[in-house]
Chain A
C-alpha cells in the first residue's frame, strides 16, 4: 500500500534527468564547429581574464546554451499544457498551427511595420499564437463530438498550411525582409544574446507558474469534464488559463527562436511513458526533457552542419515527424 501518490520511479527519473541536463550543458559548451579542450572550457567558464580563442568560444556559447535550455523547457511544458487542454496525446504547438500563426504575425511585423526589438517580436508572436489557438480550437470543435483529437490535428494542419503559404506570399516579393526572416523562420537558438534571454525570463516564469498551479485541476479534467466538475473544477476557466499558459510559453519561444516543432510532443511523451499520467510530475519533468531534447538537437545540428551549422528547427523536425506518425497510428488504433 502506497502512502503517497509520488510515482515510485520519480526520484530516479529526476536524478537521471538532471544528470542528462548537465551532460547537455557541457556538450553544448564544448562541441560545435570548433571543439573546445577541457582546460579551455574551464577557462571560459570560470577565468574571466583568460583570453585564449577556445575560452572566448565557450563564453559565446554560454548564452546560446542558456537560451536553448529555456526554449526547450518552455516548449516541453507548453506541449504538456496543450495536450491536457485538448485532451489530445499528439497536441503540440507546431501540430496545432500555433507556431505558424506566431510566424505569420512576426513576418507581417517585419514586412509592414519594420519591427526589430525582442519585445516587438514577442508581442506580435503572442498575439498570432493566441488568435491561431482560438481559431484552430474553434474549427476543431465544430460538428459532432466536440474537439476530438483527430479533428483538432486536421484543423491545425490545414490552418498551418494556409498560414505558411501566406507567410511565403508576403516574403517572396520583399528580398530585404527575406534575409532577416529566413534565418528566424527555421527555428534557431544560434543567434541568442543575453538580451533575448532576459526578455524570455518573465514569460517563462509566468508560463511555468500557470503550469504548476493548474496541474492538479488538469489531473481532474483528464478524467472527463463531468468528473472534474463533480470535483469542484471550473472547467471553462481552467481550459482558458491553461491554454493561455501554453500559448504564452510557445509564443515567446517562437518569437525569439523561430518556430521549433515537435519538442513539446516528444518531451511530454517520453515522460508520460516513463512516469505515467500524473501532471504534477509530468509537467516539471517535461521542462527538463524538453531542455535536454532541444539542446541535444542543437548540438547535433552544429556537428552535422560543421563547419557551418544546421538550424535546430530542422533537426527537431527530422526526429519528430516520424515519431508523430508512429504516435498518431497508435492513438488511432486505440480509439478503434
Chain B
C-alpha cells in the first residue's frame, strides 16, 4: 500500500533527526500518538502536536510514560497506527507496558532518543546505553525488533520501516535514536506519497465465529487482527493465553505462548535483518557499529585503509534481532571485530558471543556525553591485527 498523501510533506527539507522522525511516522501512517515530554526527544512530540490536527491525527500528552505506552496499545486495538516517543527515564517507565504490548502482540513504534544515564544522567547529551534495555528491559522472556538510524534522513526513512516491521510481525518496534542523531540537522528528502511503501495492518476477513486472535497460520507467523467495535467480542490479556486470547495458567500454555513470541522474531531474523556491509571480503578487521557511532567509525576506517589495513565495516540498522548467523560466518574469515559504542560494552558482548572464539572482539567503549574520538577507534583497529 502507498502512503496517504495527506500526511506526506514531499520535498527537500533541512531537518533535525527528531523532526524527521515525526515526518516519517506521519508518512508511515501513524495517526495516534501519546507521549510525555523529555529531552532530547520532545521535538518529535512537538512536531506531531503541530501536524496532527491538520491531517486528522490524534495527539495526547499523557500524565506519564506508563500512561503513554498503555494508551498506545489501546489505540492500536481501536485500529490506529500508534507511536510514543521518549528518552531513558521515560523508556524505563514504558517497560511495563512494552511488555504488555509484546504479550498482546500489538504493532506499534516506541522511539527512544537516547541520552546518558543511569537515572537522570545527561539529559542533553548523547549515549547508546539503552541497547540491552531495548532487548529485554521488560520482565519475562521475549524478542523484539530495534532499529538504529544514523542520520536525519534515516530517521525519516527508518521510522516508516519501523511501522512496517511492527505491522508485519505484530510487535512493538523500538526506534533507538540517540541525542546526536536527534539533534543533528541535515538535508532530508521526503519523496512523493506514491513512492512510499506502507504495510497496512492485516485484518481478519473470515467468519466472525471462527476468529481466534492468536491462531497462527503456520509456525513463526502472526495472526491477523480485528478492531474493537467490529463485533468480534475479542478478549485480549497480558496473562499467558491460548489462541482465543483466554488466560491459561499452566506450563504448557506458557511454553506455547513464550516460544511463539520468541520464535516469530528469531526464526525470521534473516527476513527482518537490515545490515550494511562494506569491504568485508578479505578484511582482517571488521568494525561493527550502529547509530551515530557508525559515522564516527567511518573516519577511523578510512584512516586505517589509507595506512593499508584491510578493514571492513558492518553497520547494524536492525540491532535486534541480532544478525547472529552473519557474525558467526564472518568470524571465520576475519581476525578481529572492533565494536565502538557509546556505552561500556553491550552489543560488543553479543558480537563476542557470536564470534565463538574464532575472531577477537575489541570493544571501544565510551561512557556517554559525546561521541568517540576516531583515534581511539583507529588505535583499536591497529591493535586488533597485531
Q: Do A and B make up one complex?
A: no
Q: Name B's A-contacting residues (CB within 8 A).
A: none
